[in-house]
Chain A
Amino acid sequence: MSKYKPKTKTGLFKRIAWRVLSLVLVFGLWEFAGRKPISIIFPTFTSTMVALMNLLIDGTLLSAYAVTLVPLAIGVALVGFLGIVFGILMGLYRSFEWLTLPVFIIVQSAPMAALIPLITFLYGIGLGAKVLAVVLMAAPVIVLNSYRGIRNANPTLIQMGRSFLASRTQEIFKIILPDASGMIFAGLRLGVAAGFIGVILAELLITPTGIGDLITYYRALALYPQMFASIFSIVLFASVVVSALQRLEGILFRRQQCTS
């Protein structure tokens, strides 16, 4: 009958302590490796953090992120909407599933990054190219998760609906879609993670703007602390976004997870 795991104060304290210890361990190793040094190029943790602070203060990082996040947001919104609709249709209509599923089965294991060089031919090096890169990387997982969510909707619930005389429309909107929503959202989260990869790859390979260009730029100038700071920031930012989405997922779909 207990609703949640008891979150006592000591439990929370312990969790934070482990977090801190784990951060200290990894950053300590980084600092050590930088000081030793394992390579004259490898900056220490502290010099990277100083560089990060400076980049933050002079606004370089902020303007770079402004450039990077626009195509990411557009791409995720676009493929989020179209991909989910596509995946839902795949799950609901057998003939549509028959036609499209084999393509997605191949695409889900394929390195879609191989197609990125082609994007330049389609959209040049502007915003469109980056959006397309995001779409290309995020689409498979979003479509397939929506599809699987629909196809794996709890069969007992569907049977229950039928026994209480649900029409097909009621079955879809009152049972299948709500049941699949958790999985669809998870697909969206994985899509955002994949979209980050797409946009960075596009910025490194075809469109020298944004945070990807910052990495290339500092590498060319041999300003390694700044370069590592840029990389650090993007990894940090992406994991904050993705884990925030994961939290949100946990809150939104808690009820489903507890009973099934």
Chain B
Amino acid sequence: MIIFGRRIPMIFALLIWLLVWEAIGRAELLFLIPPFADVVRAMFKLLATGKFYQAVSVSFIAFSTGMMISISIGIPLGILMGRVRFIDELLGMWVNVFVSAPLTAIVPALMVLTGFGQTTVIVTVILFSVWIITLDTRAGVRNINPSLLEMGRSFGANKLQLYTKVIFKAALPEILAGLRLGLIRGVRGVIVGQLLIAIIGLGELFELYSRSFLMDRFWALVIMIFLFAYMISEAVNHLEKRIEFWASTR
């Protein structure tokens, strides 16, 4: 927005919303919404407790393990689906189903199969994130200009070189887009998994704070998770922008 000929950065809009939040909190309109200042204070209090670090580390381990597995399955699978007809025909339908299915419903089944612990959260993360990574990778491979592959072959690239030096690189813009969405979904997977299990990690804290009406801590936790998700998404976004130039000239 431009006021008095000056462009005001959009970030300032967030400040306005935080002021509104503070005002609602001060006016005690809703006990759900404590003043933002209290939330910030709670944030610092949280950062000083061991329980918080324990929850964060458990959650982060689940997230990173799940994502690592998800990426190492999703990208190769997506490339295969993009290149090999029968794999695509065989699996395409399932990837498309699961990418938009309410996978939340599957978590209770995981809980009976893999227990009320970390394994279930990891599997949930994989289940939430792997499909979109696969799908976008496939789209990236499909978008490659065939003459680029012919160029690779005509200059004597072997199969391995063709996949690593041409196909993977050429599909990178879409792969990164899939990765970003996959990471966002992975964070959701951690939260949903832990909320449903309710006895580990951040899910336990959410349960604890909402049951004991500690709204300031609840919001402190929510804000930190939201910021974490946002920063991850922005980090990948930054990478995407750096290679954007080759998406247009493929």
| Residues in A lying within 8 Å of B, measured CB to CB | 18-19, 21-23, 25-26, 39, 41-42, 94-95, 98-103, 105-107, 109-111, 113-118, 120-122, 190, 193, 196-197, 200-201, 204-205, 211-212, 215-216, 219, 224, 227-228, 230-231, 234-235, 238-239, 242-243
Contacts and interface: CB of A to CB of B under 8 A. Distances in A.
B94 A200 contact: no
A18 B16 CA distance: 55
Interface stretch (B6-14, B68-76, B168-176): B6-14
A114 B210 CA distance: 11
Nearest to B188: A111
B151 interface: no
A101 B13 contact: yes
B113 A39 contact: yes
Given A21-B90, A212-B105, A219-B108, A110 B226 contact: yes
B133 interface: no
B229 A111 contact: yes
A41 B113 contact: yes
Contacts of A19: 93
Nearest to B231: A109
Contacts of B31: 121
Interface string B182-217: 001001101110011000000000110010000000
Give chain B's interface residue range (CB within 8 Å of chain A).
35 or more
B53 interface: no
Nearest to A205: B195
Contact of B113 (A23, A42, A197): A42
Contacts of B90: 18, 21-22, 25
Contacts of B108: 204, 215-216, 219, 227, 231
B84 interface: no
B101 A204 contact: no
A215 B17 CA distance: 39
B49 interface: no
A35 to B, nearest CB: 16
A52 to B, nearest CB: 14
B132 to A, nearest CB: 12
Interface in B63-111: 89-94, 96-97, 100-109, 111
A138 B154 CA distance: 49
Contact of A110 (B16, B92, B100, B225): B225
Given A111-B188, A205-B196, A118 B32 contact: yes
6 contacts: A99-B16, A121-B31, A204-B108, A215-B108, A235-B103, A243-B96
Contacts of A212: 105
A24 to B, nearest CB: 10
Contacts of A21: 89-90
A111 B189 CA distance: 8
B233 interface: yes
Nearest to A230: B105
Contacts of A114: 191, 195, 206, 221-222, 225-226
A118 B106 CA distance: 23
A120 B218 CA distance: 14
B33 to A, nearest CB: 10
B230 interface: yes
B1 interface: yes
Contacts of A190: 100
Contacts of B92: 22
B102 A238 contact: yes
Contacts of B227: 106
B242 to A, nearest CB: 19
A182 B32 CA distance: 38
A235 B102 contact: yes
A238 B97 CA distance: 9
B210 A117 contact: yes
B112 interface: yes
Nearest to A98: B1
Given A101-B13, A102-B14, A224-B112, A94 B104 contact: no
A206 B230 CA distance: 27
Contacts of A216: 108
Given A193-B100, A224-B112, A235-B101, A113 B188 contact: yes
